[in-house]
Structure 1
Amino acid sequence: MRLANIVNLGIKELRSLGRDRVMLALIVYAFTGAIYTAATAMPETLNKASIAIVDEDRSALSTRLVAAFYPPHFNPPTLITAAEMDARMDNGSITFALGIPPNFQRDVLAGRTPDIQLNVDATRVSQAFTGAGYIQTIVATEVAAFLQHYRAATVLPVDLALRIRYNPALNKSWFGAVIEVINQVTLLSIVLTGAALIREREHGTIEHLLVMPVTPFEIMAGKIWAMAGVVIVAWTAALVLVVQGMLGVPIHGSLALLLAGVAVNLFATTALGIVLATLARSMPQFALLVILVIVPLEMLSGGMTPRESMPTVVQTIMLAAPTTHFIMLSQAVLFRGAGLAVVWPQLLALIVIGGVLFGVALARFRKAIGEMV
């Protein structure tokens, strides 16, 4: 093995990538537009939900309830008649329809318990459950304030001191941005490395390499360091310009430690890309294999859903995935400012998994080259 061969082969890969405009556009979008969209376009909390109110009471209390719904959780409510409610729910123009019955205020003041009807369009799952809880709380709070003629909190025997750590503003974009950066690192490292090998095979340049004084290890190592370097540069730019700059997400931990985690994770995921490329015979086959692999990696590694909420079998199986440990490491460093004393088990796991994947990739690559010869 000669280091000069690995360096020169990696430079060749960078030159080849520089001529691939489609792949360059994918890299730029993945670390800019995709991150910004994931952080801002898919709210996890109720945001500007459409609501209509049927006010058949026309009292001070019902007017107070109408005025209690306002942005950012709800759009200003539309006053409709009972006959319009079903039609608007059917055409999807409203998500919630609140019906206030006649004599509502009189019944409340008389100590009776009148019913308020709430219709919810449950096809809008992201808002239906959360919005129903918001509306129930708003109605109960406004009715209680109206009866007491002032807003008063019930004195409890226990005082709950709430301390929100790591995301005190409960800003959903913080979580979305960081998770998308993590996902893009995994996706691009697999795609770039595997596509580089597939491109060599389709263009016939892999045969040229076989007649040169280079070993399969040098060829594979050159592809891995080149593509990993591209991802690291793009990741750093995205973290500084998009996550910190555009979205204002604070970084609490050590960037050097996080960079070390990214590098070790890339050691594993780029090797995985080589494995998939040796299994595929063409770029379309490789794309299908990437879909089959990347979806479970992103969905079951703890980024989208906490691992604790998954079945025990899934949790155990996903410990063999590098993304599971990379997500744990990244969240600990970025959100909680954890140091090496906290994340060293994840680093060690990534090194072990990366070593295994690299060995498998090298064996597969040598076998694929042997078949060509």
Structure 2
Amino acid sequence: MDRRSFIRKAGVTGAGAAAAAATLAAPAIAQSNPKVSWRLTSSFPKSLDTVYGGAEVMSKMVSEATDGNFQIQVFAGGELVPGLQAADAAATGTVEACHTVGYYYWGKDPVWALASDVPFSLNARGRNAWHYHGGGIDLYNAFLAKQGLFGLPGGNTGTQMGGWFRKEINTLEDMKGLKMRIAGFAGKVMEKLGVVPQQLAGSDVYPALEKGTIDAAEWVGPYDDEKLGFQKVAPYYYYAGWWEGGPTVHFMFNKEKYEGLSPAYKALLHTACQAADANMLQKYDYVNPPALRSLVEKGAQLRPFNQEILSACFDESAKIYAEMSASNPDFKTIWDSIVAFRKEHYLWQQVAEYNFDTFMMLQQRAGKL
């Protein structure tokens, strides 16, 4: 064989082998899926790092798992669209995705709120059980499909606090005429008890409390509340926020864009969203205890809503649910599912969890932990 011919053929073979090796070295998911670039608008400011951070956790996981092929760029509320228009932006295709809470849109249709949270519904564990194993995700998506969206749970704060009050609330009579920054279903229930609900942006709450323009305000919980210094102007910190026993934050995707993804990308999106969902609750459970202790040291005075107030709120909530179920078939379908599971969930919670937790709490109070 001619030496030059041999070298030429060997060179071609070597180049082909190198190309094949490079192909084999690339991640399998990168080979089978094209590059995708999405934008996600959050309903939250970056200052709420735990809840806003849920979208960053999901985005990072998706990017790393695809070797950068699937990119989801996260924007804070207000950077692209106002925070309370996040779902609208995803539905119309202004962005491909959003990270928001369904109850922000309950004014359009109360069904929006049911998979996020409504008064006296479920705690975080119950909410997640209903979502992932009780058909909640599918029931909510049957509704979201009519809005041009597909949704997946993407975070939970755990039971929130009942808010900051300038004076103590001891009776139902104390509720009458109270001007409180509270919205959604809770505002509707409170209104039945004589409270005057106020709609205020987060940045306006502190000065309104300081000036006495409002008498009370609900926010989130110790970790987020501490940043705003409410204890300086409304020292009575009530618990629990019965309107948000286990509020779910959702990732909502433009339905057409979601359906256009490959099966591998859809599966990855589900996995990343569920991871972000769990991570948010875990982080809040870790950061809230020291924040609560710090707030008390700074002057916050913890107070529970008494049984008279809680019972009245529970009864008024039940009346509202009955009215909405009678006039809204979609609402009835989802609420009936929640109610059926709620009964079983709290039966089980009384047995093992409640007794174990109660015993451990008694040991904590006795200084044994």
* TM-score normalised per structure 2: 0.27
Q: Which structure carries more helix by proportion?
A: 1
Larger Rg: 1
Q: Which structure carries more strand by proportion?
A: 2
* TM-score normalised per structure 1: 0.27
